[in-house]
Amino acid sequence: MTPARTDEYRLGPLGAAVGKRLAAWDAARFGKRLWRGDASLWVTGPAAEISDRLGWLRLPESMPARIPAFRAFAEEIRAEGVERVVLLGMAGRASRPSSIKGRWRRSRASALIVLDSTHPAAVAAVERAIDIRRTLFVVSSKSGTTIEPCRSSAILGEGRADRRAPRRRFAAISDPGTPLQALARERGFRRAFEALPTSGAASRR
C-alpha cells in the first residue's frame, strides 16, 4: 500500500517561532475551544463580533441541505447558455472564491472570473474576456453595503445598449435584510441568495 502523502513545510529561521506558537496553542487547547466558539482565544471580555462570526465552523453540517437548490440553479442558467460567472466582491468575498478556483482544472477555472476592483482597466479586461450575453454576474457583499461590487454591477449593467447585461444575468449574495438584498429585488436580479449571518468577517464587509 502506498503511504498517504503528507505536506512538508520548511520554515527556515521561522521554524522555532512557529513551533513555539503551535505548542502554546496545544497547551491552551486551542482547537477544542475554537469549536466551542470561545472568543477568549482572541480577546478578553465580551466579544460578540467574534463569537457571532464562527458559524463557518458548522458549514459542513448546515450547507448540504442547500446543495440541491444550488445545483438546480446552476443547471438552470447553464441550460440558458450561461458559460461564465463573474463574481463581483472585495476582500474575503473575493479571496475565498479565488482560492477555490486555483484548485480547479484549467477548463473549469476559466468559467469563473473574480473581479475585485473598480479600476477601469480591470473592468475593461473582464468585458474583453467574456460574452456579456452568456455571463452571470454575482454581486457578493456580506453587509450589502460594500461600494465596490455594487459599483461594478452598475458599470457592467449600464453600459452601451448593445453590451448591457440584462438584469436576469445578475444574482446577489448577502446577509438577510441587507441593502443589497433590497436592491436585487428592486432591479429584478435573477436570484438573491441569503448568506449565513453567523459566517464571515467581523467587519461585515
Name the helix (H) or strand (E) containing 22. helix 15-27
Q: Check whether residue 188 and residue 141 sit in a common domain.
A: yes
C-beta of residue 130 within 8 angstroms of C-beta of residue 84: yes
pLDDT in tens, 10-44: 788 888 899 899 999 999 999 998 888 888 888 77
Q: Does residue 6 form part of some domain? A: no
What CA–CA distance (Å, rounded) separates 192 from 176?
Answer: 9
CATH number of the domain encompassing residue 83: 3.40.50.10490
* pLDDT more than 70, % of the chain: 68
DSSP category for residue 128: H
Q: How many structural domains compose the chain?
A: 2
pLDDT in tens, 95-108: 555 556 555 555 55
By residue range, what is the domain housing residue 46? 13-51
Q: Check whether residue 35 and residue 75 sit in a common domain.
A: no
Report the candidate in 63, 53, 112, 120 with the shortest Cα–Cα distance to residue 88.
Answer: 112
Q: Does residue 186 form part of some domain? A: yes
Q: Check whether residue 139 and residue 42 sit in a common domain.
A: no
Assign 108 to helix, strand or coil.
helix
C-alpha cell at 9: 513545510
Sorting pLDDT into bands at 50, 70 and 90, what band is 152?
A: low
Q: Does residue 199 form part of some domain? A: no
What CA–CA distance (Å, rounded) separates 159 from 135?
Answer: 15
Assign 54 to helix, strand or coil.
strand
Which residue would you say has higher pLDDT here, 57 or 8?
Answer: 57
* pLDDT more than 90, % of the chain: 9
Beta bridge partners of 88: 115, 139
- pLDDT at 127 (0 to 100): 82
C-beta of residue 149 within 8 angstroms of C-beta of residue 118: no
C-beta of residue 141 within 8 angstroms of C-beta of residue 150: yes
Flag whether pLDDT at 126 surpasses 90: no
Q: Does residue 57 form part of some domain? A: no
Q: Check whether residue 46 and residue 70 sit in a common domain.
A: no
Sorting pLDDT into bands at 50, 70 and 90, what band is 176?
A: confident
Report the candidate in 202, 201, 199, 203 with the shortest Cα–Cα distance to residue 57.
Answer: 199
Report the candidate in 53, 68, 58, 60 with the shortest Cα–Cα distance to residue 142.
Answer: 53
Sorting pLDDT into bands at 50, 70 and 90, what band is 145?
A: low
Residue 183's contacts (CB-CB under 8 Å, 6 or more residues apart) are 144, 150, 172, 189
DSSP category for residue 57: G
C-alpha cell at 181: 438584498
C-beta of residue 199 within 8 angstroms of C-beta of residue 37: no
Q: Does residue 37 form part of some domain? A: yes
Flag whether pLDDT at 163 surpasses 60: no
Average of pLDDT values for 58-63? 83
Q: Check whether residue 111 and residue 39 sit in a common domain.
A: no
